[in-house]
Structure 1
């Protein structure tokens, strides 16, 4: 059931969307460039593609105040002639994974040999699996990313296609701590107990210190209210929805994030 909420909540949701939207726009631009590059060659290869990926994502990773801590392209298994499993992924100097802060821009040292003990099949991970199934972008997390950050992370990925085939995904990693610093002051302006969640109900940040980042928010009716966000991911935003007990869910544009407002009847 849709519900009318205070205009300030709608404004806060719009401000949250405006923080994420530039990341979406950047990833879409990268996707278009990669697709054009793949179509320009008869046999795509990692040797040719990797320098171009580095040129695409490097400036954004090194930009002062950038929210992203990792970015790149992950190829569909067998798509690249010289690299059956391949991650062309770069880390910013703020990313402490494997090196410590202040190490500068560097490439992720990924295990690409499927026979190696540390190899991980990335096609089973949410940030790959969902875009591959839906054909649209997907926001994964917050989750602890043991592959690229070793910290609470939000990963945004979108499919890359060439000649009618999925060539891989392109995307970014964002530390949840950085997002929280950016978004929590905005969320606090709601005037209500308020929690920002993803389309699965996982907490990004909250005005309630007892609601831990990454945990599932368990409220009556929340799963049903979030279903339109999962269905419309990458498309038009859903409407604000009433929750049992007097709360409301307010989508943040088409980001697949939403504000959960509680105790509106108090």
Structure 2
């Protein structure tokens, strides 16, 4: 694996740095994906019946989608693969938390007509393509969600199966600012510069103004580290890099 400025990486045999942060982030990730399990079960059960493969029938998973909202989850739903539904090419059942506290959830509508000037081809979005191509759950972001909120967002998605094939994804949106609020105290308690990164080395949150959300870490080749197995490591400059559980999120702690 290569690092910028010829910084070498060695195996870290010392007590790991940031245990509490890693544990907390892992728990938050698992909690978010756990909220999607009933939505996934409802979507797959619906699609298992031919009568359930219509745009109107998708409303049948609405109770599970709305139940998934709350806590860090500010949006959730099901997005179908092309031609899974029998009456239209694309399918989209997505709900968001209302702006005012205590308000009713609101359904999100997008243009599903390819010839429309406002058509959103979600089949090109990473939150859709990665689960489709890998068959595994995925966390996309941080990215600015221009469709819904104009805020930095993390989107958690899980592939949906129908008759052994890919039928779409169920997903949940989390504001980065709320994720940051939840983990910031433990990040600050490390007493060193620390950041949570995605698999591309982009900052999700950090405890330093020098590492803003969305910025790219360049001192460490994070993608190469993931490709090589993402084992806990320490650079010759004293920085540590650790994966947060089974998630595609890493903790980088520097001097």
Give the TM-score normalised by the residue count of structure 1.
0.86
Distance in structure 2 (CA, Å) of the matches to 1:90 and 1:244: 47
- Work out whether residues 248 and 262 of structure 1, in 8 Å CA contact, stay in contact via their aligned partners in 2: yes
Match of residue 253 from structure 1: 245
Alignment map for 1:99-114 (pairs within 5 Å): 104-114=104-114
Which structure has more relative contact order (CA 8 Å, sep 6+)? It is 2
- The structural deviation recorded for 1:228 is 5.0
Distance in structure 1 (CA, Å) of the matches to 2:102 and 2:51: 40
- The change in CA–CA distance for 1:131 and 1:240 in structure 2 (over 3 A counts) is same
Unaligned 5+ runs, structure 2: 1-9
Moved more, 238-247 or 119-128: 238-247
How many residues were matched structurally?
Answer: 246
Distance in structure 2 (CA, Å) of the matches to 1:217 and 1:119: 34
The secondary structure found in structure 2 opposite 1:239 is coil
- The change in CA–CA distance for 1:101 and 1:116 in structure 2 (over 3 A counts) is farther
Match of residue 157 from structure 1: 157
- The structural deviation recorded for 1:103 is 5.7
Alignment map for 1:1-266 (pairs within 5 Å): 1-7=10-16, 9-41=18-50, 44-50=53-59, 52-61=60-69, 63=70, 66-94=71-99, 104-227=104-227, 238-263=230-255
The secondary structure found in structure 2 opposite 1:28 is helix
- The change in CA–CA distance for 1:23 and 1:220 in structure 2 (over 3 A counts) is closer
Distance in structure 2 (CA, Å) of the matches to 1:221 and 1:150: 29
- The structural deviation recorded for 1:260 is 0.1
Moved more, 22-31 or 132-141: 22-31
The secondary structure found in structure 2 opposite 1:46 is coil
Unaligned 5+ runs, structure 1: 95-99, 230-237
Distance in structure 2 (CA, Å) of the matches to 1:244 and 1:75: 47
- The change in CA–CA distance for 1:101 and 1:142 in structure 2 (over 3 A counts) is farther
Output the aligned Cα RMSD. Answer: 2.0
- The structural deviation recorded for 1:101 is 7.8
Distance in structure 2 (CA, Å) of the matches to 1:59 and 1:27: 9
Distance in structure 2 (CA, Å) of the matches to 1:228 and 1:46: 43
Distance in structure 1 (CA, Å) of the matches to 2:215 and 2:14: 26
- Work out whether residues 241 and 249 of structure 1, in 8 Å CA contact, stay in contact via their aligned partners in 2: yes
